[in-house]
Amino acid sequence: MAKKTTKIAELGDQPGKADVSKVQAYLERFGYLGARGEGFGAADFPEAAPDSPGAVLATARPAPGAGAYDDVTRDAVRQFQAFAGLPVTGAVDTATAAKMNQPRCGMPDAAGVAEFVTSGRRWATTNLRYAFQNFTADVPSNDIVLAIEQAFSLWAAHTPLRFTRVPLASGPEIIIQFVTGDHGDGSPFDGPGAVLAHAFFPSVPPAAPTAIMGDAHFDDAETWTVAVPPGAGTIDLVTVAAHEFGHSLGLSHSNVAGALMAPFYGGPHRAVEADDIAGITSLYGGFSINHAMWVHGTSVTIERDADVESVTRFGFFTRIVGKPNTTNWYHVAVPTPVIVGGNRLAFARAMLRFATGGTSAVVRDVHIYDGSSRIAAHQSVNLSGSQPFAVFGVAHKPDVAWGAGISIGVTTGPGTAAQRRIDLISAGIDFLD
Ligand SMILES: [Zn+2]
Ligand SMILES: [Zn+2]
C-alpha cells in the first residue's frame, strides 16, 4: 500500500527546518523555486525555445537556504499565493498550507503569468489519435473509455481538433496510462492525494514530436471514479483527464480560479470555461461551421409520460414538470443534412438552450445520436438554472450516416412544480464539411 503524503503545516514565527523543507520542496516541484524548466523532469521533456517566455525566466534564480525561511523562499510563497488567488502575505498561513495540501496536477505552474498560458507548443495535425496503455481497476473499462471520450469532447467542441481512439500499436499521439510511484519518466507519483496526474506538452512547431509528447499519466494510487457526486476520497476521472488533455494539447496552468486549467482539483468540473476556450483557440483556432440545424423546443418528445406531471407548449418553448424524485429522457430529433453538394457532412457538436426552475430540475446527461449509434455521451454534466447556450462536443466528429438526435436526461428532485420545471427553448447540431 502506498504511503500517505506528509502534509504541509502552517509555518509560525520560528518554523522548524523540516516544515520549511516541505514548503520548499512543494515550491520547487511546482516551479516557484529553483531552475525553471526542470519542474517536470522527464529526460526528453521538450525544452523551451530560446525566444519563449519560459526561456527568459530560466535565467538562474537565487537558491533558497535549505530548511531556512529566507527571502527567496518568502518571495516564492508570494508568487504561489498570487497564482492561487490567496492574500499575498509571504507567510505560510492556514489558507496557504491548505492550498498546498489540496490535490492537484503534477505539472508546474507558470507563476505570475495572467490567465491562460500557452508556450507555443502545439500539434501540427488536427486529427489526434489516442490509445490506452492500461486501465485502472477502480472503474469498469467501458466507463473509462466513455470518461476519456467525454474529456476530449470538451476540447473538440471549440476547435478543429478530432480525437479518435486507435489501437496502441498504431502509434497514437496521446497514450493514456494508469501508473504508480516511479514509472520511468523522471516524475514519480506520490501515493494517494497531492499529485493526481500529469501530461506531456507537444513540441513547438516545426520541431517534430517525440514519442512521449501528448501522453497523460494518472496516479493509480488515487481511487478514480466516474460517479457524480464522487464517493468520499475518490477523484473524478472526467475532470482530471480533461485538465491533463489541456496539457497534451499545449496549455499550461491558468491562474483563473474557475478555469479547467487551474492546477488545483476541487471536485467534478466537467466543462471548459471562457479562459480555457481562449487558450485552446489561441493554439488551434476555432472551426468554421458549414451547416447548423436547429429545432424549436416545442418539438421535444418525452420518453416516459408516467413520470411527468404536466407538459405545456407555449409559443416559444415547451415546459415540462417532472414528478418529484424521478428521472426521465426528453428527445429532440434534429433534421440532418446528410449530404450537401455531394459532400457527406460530419458532426461537430450539439447545443441546447433551456432553463430550469432551480436545482430540483437538472439536466444530468446529454447524449448525441446518429441513427442508432450514440456518438457522444456527456455524463453527469448537471446543468440547471438559465442555460442560454450549452455546448456538447463530439470527440471524433464522425461523418453523418443516418440523422441526428439529442437525448436529454433530466433528474427531478423534490420541490414545488415551479422548481421542478424545465423549459426547453431550442436544440441543434453544428456540422462540418
Ligand atoms: Zn495541470
Ligand atoms: Zn508520468
Structural domains of the chain, count: 3
pLDDT digits (tens, 9 = 90+) for 193-230: 999 999 999 998 888 889 999 999 999 999 999 999 99
261 and 334 part of one domain = no
Grid coordinates of 35: 531552475
Q: Residue-wise over 239-267: b if at least 16 C-beta within 10 A, else e?
A: bbbbbbbbbbbbbbbbbbeebbbbbbbee
Alpha helices (H) in 85-123, listed in sequence order: 94-101
Tens of pLDDT, residues 131-190: 999 999 999 999 999 999 999 999 999 999 999 999 999 999 999 999 999 999 999 999
Closest CA to 400 of 302, 290, 297, 296: 290
Please list the residues that pair with 328 across neighbouring strands.
410
Residues 40 and 182 in one domain: no
Task: Judge whether 166 lies within some domain.
Answer: yes
- How far apart are the CA of 16 and the centre of ligand 2, in A? 32
Same domain for 271 and 142: yes
Burial class (CB in 10 A: 0-12, 13-18, 19+), 414: exposed
Check 28, 149, 244, 273 and give the catalytic one.
244
Reply yes or no on whether the pLDDT at 69 is more than 80: yes
Which of 263, 284, 305 lies at the terminal end of a domain, its last residue? 284
Percent of the chain with pLDDT over 90: 84
Question: How far is Cα 364 from Cα 352, in angstroms, rounded to an integer?
Answer: 13
In order, the DSSP letters of 195-232 are: B-EEE-----TTSPPPTTTT-EEEETTSEEE--SSPPT
How far apart are the C-alpha atoms of 18 and 219, rounded to whole Å?
A: 26
Domain residue limits at 132: 127-284
Within a domain: residue 113? no
**Could you tell me if residue 186 is inside a domain?**
yes
Between CA 271 and CA 393 the distance in angstroms is 11
Domain match, 299 and 348 both: yes
> Is residue 117 a part of any domain in this protein?
no
The answer to whether residue 122 is domain-embedded is no
Confirm whether 4 is domain-assigned: no
User: What residues are neighbours of ligand 1 (ion), with CB under 5 Å?
Assistant: 105, 107
Assess whether 401 and 258 both reside in one domain.
Answer: no
Sheet holding 404-412, edge to edge: 301-302, 326-334, 404-412, 361-370, 373-378
pLDDT per position as a tens digit, 377-415: 999 999 999 999 999 999 999 999 999 999 999 999 999
For 350, which DSSP code?
E
Does residue 192 share a domain with residue 217? yes
Cβ-based neighbours of 184, under 8 Å, separated by 6 or more: none
Same domain as 256, residue 380:
no
pLDDT at residue 39 is higher than 50: no
Same domain, 62 and 155: no
Give residues whose Cβ lies within 5 Å of ion ligand 2. 185, 217
Proximal ligand: closest to the CA of 244? 1
The answer to whether residues 317 and 344 belong to one domain is yes
Q: Each residue of 79-106: pLDDT tens digit?
A: 999 999 999 999 999 999 999 999 999 9
Residue 110 counted as domain residue: no
Which ligand is in closest contact with the Cα of 217? 2
Summarize pLDDT for 246-265 with one digit per residue, the tens. 999 999 999 999 999 999 99
Rounded to two decimals, the pTM is 0.92
Residue 116 lies in a domain: no
Instruction: Identify the bridge partners of residue 370 per DSSP, sorted by sequence position.
Output: 373, 404
Active site residue 244: yes
Ligand showing the shortest atom-to-Cα distance for residue 276: 1
In angstroms, what is the span from residue 104 Cα to ligand 1's centroid? 7
